[in-house]
Amino acid sequence: MSLLVDRGSGRCIVTNSWRTKEAMHASAEQMLPEHKRAAEILGGSPIDNLWQIAVMRRDHRSGPGAWVRATWLKTRPELFESAIDFYRRAMLPAIEDFEGFCSASLMVDPTAARAVSSVTYDSLGTMEQSADATGSMRTAMLRDLGVDQDDVGEFELALAHLRVPRLA
């Protein structure tokens, strides 16, 4: 489980991971009361999205004070696989060179041709230092691949306990 928090807007993102899709579906009934309880505590309405990890890189574990920049994307179904490949081949190596880089992931929903990229940094300062370079890379990807950006958010990494492979 991980918890991303934007204290200014009150937006929270809770991410859970399972080894298999079957395990995830088997736990759904048990998780329902927890979703409702979390919504009551946080004062909001839960929105469930199912994502598959397409790409994962971890340089090192994040520590206290880590921040995450998340970008939600959408493309046409026929361009989906090439967009994932572009992220893996071109964007990820550049992201790994950013000062304070901890990890990056690309989670996808192939049925809707949607993706969310998240990059974790050691601190708010190192995330802010990467803003111009990240924006340029994102602009090039959107232009060259015909990808649409739905949203970008910057979040404090309040809880970091996802158990996923180091490389995917």
Q: Which pLDDT value is given to residue 99?
A: 95
In sequence order, the 6+-apart residues with CB closer than 8 A to the CB of 10 are 42, 43, 44
Residues 148-165: what's their mean pLDDT?
A: 82
pLDDT digits (tens, 9 = 90+) for 76-88: 888 888 888 988 9
In a domain, 41, yes or no: no
Domain of residue 119 covers: 51-160
Q: Which pLDDT value is given to residue 95?
A: 94
Q: Hunting for tokens 């088997």 — which residue is that?
A: 26
In a domain, 112, yes or no: yes
Chain centroid to CA 16: how far? Answer: 12
pLDDT band at 23 (very low <50, low <70, confident <90, very high): confident
Number of domains in the chain: 1
In a domain, 29, yes or no: no
Q: Are 51 and 109 in contact (CB under 8 A)?
A: yes
* pTM across the whole model: 0.87
In a domain, 120, yes or no: yes
Structure-derived torsion over alpha carbons of residues 116, 9, 157, 45, reported in degrees to the nearest 10: -70
